[in-house]
Amino acid sequence: MADAYMGKILKVDLGSGVIEEESIPDSVYEKFLSGSGLGGFILYNRIPAGADPLGPDNIMGFVSGLLTGTGSLFTGRWMAMAKSPLTGGYGESNCGGNLSPAIKRCGYDGIFFSGISEKPVYLYISGAKAELKDASDLWGKDAIETENILLERHSSGRKPRVACIGQAGERLSLIAGISNDLGRMAARSGLGAVMGAKRLKAIVLGGSKKIASHDKDAMKALSAGCNKWVQFQPWFLSGNGLRFLGMILRYLPFQTAMDGMLFKIMLTKWGTVSLNQYSIEIGDSPVKNWAGSNLDFPKALSDSIGPDRIKARETAKYHCYSCPLGCGGICSGPSLAGETHKPEYETVTALGALLLNNDLESLFLLNDKLNRAGMDTISAGVTAAFAFECFEKGILTEKETDGLKLKWGDSRALVSLIDKMIAREGIGDILADGVKRAAEKIGKNADCYAMHSGGQELSMHDARFDPGFGLHYTTEPTPGRHTIGSQMYYEMYRLWKRVPGLSRPWLVYSKKSKYRVNRKKILWAVACSRFINVLNGAGGCAFGAFIGVDRFPVFEWLNAATGWNRTPLDYMAVGKRIQAMKQAFNLKHGLDPASIRPNPRAVGSPPAEKGANKGRDLDLDKMVADYWSESGWNTKTGVPGADTAADFTNV
Amino acid sequence: MANKKSHSYPSITLADCIACLMCVDVCPTGALDIVTRNGARGFRRYPCLSFADKCVSCAACKFECPTGAIFMKQEVAEAAEEEM
Ligand code: SF4
Ligand code: SF4
Ligand code: SF4
């Protein structure tokens, strides 16, 4: 067995209560790494076709990264995966916090749950013992309360690490996520509902096993090199200066390639909220349920939620395990009961600009409420924006909303609506399952305003600003996500520095050229998908990868940690294999990739009449066909070719 | 477990610490915990030898630290000293 991985998984059958270990052959790690790859491999092979995502046949995994605990930096991400009740296909969510090393310290690369427990339970592992414990007293409690109780209850030795659901997951809200380290969320794919359906309230991991690393000195040297880049932090603009920069860039007819060091500097200073105003000005943030533009949320409105305003509420920086950057923050405020995680850009925009809401206090409150309930802030915001637009169009009236007047920008109405969604009360019951289900139930062409792709609510990056987002929102086996690729992400990953055959983007290019589909850009998108599968197999944070693979040496770390001697191209082939396997998962479960498209509004159909993205549209059909072709998949059906399929089935 | 005389404890040089918390995670006994401090790069959640009585002097934290911020000392370092 190579170093870096534990070589075992733990299987828990919640129906029978049987808990057993299983050794995983080296060949699986060699072909799929750990994390997303190992999890995908187990799910693809073991969930029967057509399984009900909320039924006993679904398998829910919590998997660590191959590099987690080996001395590398930015590599403390863990992944939850199961068949998604939201999309009906492969579901996965990725989170930082402190759980990833804890999985390995229990002696496993992943923990997989099947079956349904009769009563609420949690899994507790300490020393050599793994046991299911009664969670009846925790059922009904929010995620923060639950974690605090469990930490207190199991405080005798080393402090355990906890992942748990709140009330949203218990109530099977299809946009429920999983919380770790008091409110860091594995939010997407609706995996909190899978835990809720299994009556699995939490996992509590208290192991202290060693995690081996093949060449510790090499790992340290690589980490020291990476850390130098991370600690480089020159003077930088104020929040308002950054907004102004976004505005200037909007007016220019050309664009410069993004060096992720600039974003790193922004992340170090403010975290992701650095984008709060910059992204609105430049056209990256969707506004007013994607029907508006930067003109609807000008400086006069956005100033109150600017990066400096949020930073002023930060009492300490928060670092996920093994992170030298610390983009997170701990905040407090008058509307909050205690400390809370700093809201992220995605949250602020989904509950802010998307609803024309600029009430900062409401954003802190909603972020805290949703983290406690364990509901995805992106999906909750998108679904609320849908309801607000339905109200504007007369599709929903005060009769359906129990008297709530859903007027754009009304933060009080928004807070009440989110409360209803969490409690599944009245209209909230319909909205708690996300925007696709809600539109189906409401009818009256409400689906025109439902901003999702394949059932997953779209993230807060406008495909009309960066067409790469549109392509990945469509073609990924987990559609609608912003965490995989875009043209700008390709520029930041700097893959051409390590992977032969990949091209370097122009330093300066015309904005118009972004919308021209050509082979080069499709190859970039395919490379982003493959690379992210490698990164998610390694447990790496995308913000680390954004400084570029020459400065964030993920390929070199993988070799030094395992003792393998593989080239970056070899690793990209692993990424290709994982991507095809996830696509095959979706096909096995009856999804038709050709039918998955984001809401046309998101890709400029019809094009916006004003604002930063005026007149822009995407030739999505051609982009998708070309992406499938370059992936070695059928250009009409998205089915991976026979040779690609053989590659992940023969292990 | 080492006896009191030969016992050494980690001392964390906050100026060199990047708050990655890898030392906290590797500590097998839970002797290290997380405390918010004003270090060289502002308020962050830093490691702290909160439970010195649990420390078994294994130095795993020292070996894990990617920046060399941890030294083993014969006595428990005061917080002020750690901050330099
Ligand atoms: S950059 Fe942010 S999200 Fe990524 S590991 Fe660090 S603190 Fe966590
Ligand atoms: S020396 Fe060992 S026991 Fe003591 S704090 Fe460090 S890791 Fe923990
Ligand atoms: S491992 Fe070193 S750098 Fe990281 S938190 Fe501990 S003392 Fe600081």
Residues of chain B neighbouring A101 (CB-CB closer than 8 A): 25
| CB–CB contact B66 A315 (8 Å) | no
Neighbours of A202 (CB within 10 A): 26
Evaluate whether A161 touches A205 at the Cβ level (below 8 Å): yes
Tokens of A82: 């199961």
Evaluate whether A167 touches A142 at the Cβ level (below 8 Å): yes
Best CA proximity match to A433, nearest among A59, A208, A113, A174: A174
Neighbours of A153 (CB within 10 A): 14
Give phi and psi for B36, each to the nearest 5.
Answer: -80, 125
Best CA proximity match to A108, nearest among A20, A215, A179, A196: A20
Searching chain B, which residue's CA lies closest to the CA of residue A317? B44
Q: Which of A102, A157, A324 sits opposite B18 (nearest CB)?
A: A324
Q: Taking the mean position of all CA atoms in its chain, how far away is CA A581?
A: 19
Contact partners, residue A601, CB within 8 Å, separation at least 6:
A290, A291, A448, A451
Candidates B18, B29, B48: best to mutate against A (most CBs of A within 10 A) is B18
**In angstroms, rounded to a whole number, what is the distance separating the alpha carbons of residues A481 and A473?**
6
Which ligand lies nearest the alpha carbon of B44? Answer: 3
Which residues of A, range 199-218, sit inside 8 Å of B by Cβ?
208, 216
Chain A nearest CA to B34, separation (Å): 11
Number of domains chain B contains: 1
Positive or negative, the Cα torsion across A421, A426, A430, A433? Answer: positive
Mutate which of B4, B26, B27 for ligand 2? The one with the most ligand atoms within 8 Å of its CB, which is B27
The rounded Å distance from CA A374 to ligand 3 centre is: 30
One DSSP character per residue, A127-177 reads: TTEEEEEE-TTTTT--HHHHHHHHHHHT-SSSPPEEEE--HHHHTT-TTB-
**What pLDDT, on a 0 to 100 scale, did the predictor assign at position B5?**
54
Residue B24 belongs to domain with CATH number = 3.30.70.20
**What pLDDT, on a 0 to 100 scale, did the predictor assign at position A235?**
96
Exposed, middle or buried: residue A83 (CB in 10 Å: 0-12, 13-18, 19+)? buried
Q: Which of B43, B64, B66 sits opposite A316 (nearest CB)?
A: B43
Tokens of A308: 């400096």
Chain A nearest CA to B50, separation (Å): 12
Range of the domain at B11: 2-79
CA angle A354, A341, A281 (to 5 degrees): 30
Contact partners, residue B82, CB within 8 Å, separation at least 6:
B11, B12, B13, B14, B48
Residues of chain B neighbouring A221 (CB-CB closer than 8 A): none
Evaluate whether A525 touches A532 at the Cβ level (below 8 Å): no
**What pLDDT, on a 0 to 100 scale, did the predictor assign at position B1?**
43
**What pLDDT, on a 0 to 100 scale, did the predictor assign at position A649?**
78
**Ligand 3 atom with least separation from CA of B18:** 3
Evaluate whether A386 touches A414 at the Cβ level (below 8 Å): no
| CB–CB contact B21 A69 (8 Å) | no
Q: Is residue B84 part of a domain?
A: no
Q: CA A594, A598, A602, A604: dihedral to nearest 10 degrees?
A: 20
Please list the ranges in chain B whose pLDDT falls under 70: 1-5, 78-84
**What pLDDT, on a 0 to 100 scale, did the predictor assign at position A138?**
98
**What pLDDT, on a 0 to 100 scale, did the predictor assign at position B77?**
75
The rounded Å distance from CA A186 to ligand 3 centre is: 25
**What pLDDT, on a 0 to 100 scale, did the predictor assign at position B78?**
60
- pLDDT, tens only, A556-588: 999 999 999 999 999 999 999 999 999 999 999
**What pLDDT, on a 0 to 100 scale, did the predictor assign at position A1?**
83
The protein residue with its alpha carbon nearest to ligand 3, atom 4, reads B20
Tokens of A333: 């405020």
**Ligand 1 atom with least separation from CA of A97:** 8
**What pLDDT, on a 0 to 100 scale, did the predictor assign at position B81?**
44
Q: Is residue B61 part of a domain?
A: yes
Chain B nearest CA to A208, separation (Å): 5
Q: Is residue B39 part of a domain?
A: yes
Tokens of A92: 């996965």
**What pLDDT, on a 0 to 100 scale, did the predictor assign at position B83?**
44
Contact partners, residue A316, CB within 8 Å, separation at least 6:
A329, A330, B36, B43, B44, B45
ipTM of the complex: 0.94
CATH 1.10.569.10 fits A233-457, yes or no: yes
| CB–CB contact A321 B25 (8 Å) | yes
Mutate which of A327, A330, A552 for ligand 1? The one with the most ligand atoms within 8 Å of its CB, which is A327
Tokens of B48: 């702290």
pLDDT along chain A (651 residues), means of 10: 95 98 97 98 97 98 98 98 98 98 98 98 94 98 98 93 98 98 98 98 97 98 98 97 98 96 98 98 98 98 98 97 98 88 98 98 97 98 98 98 97 98 98 98 98 98 98 98 97 98 97 95 98 98 98 98 98 97 98 98 97 96 98 96 82 76
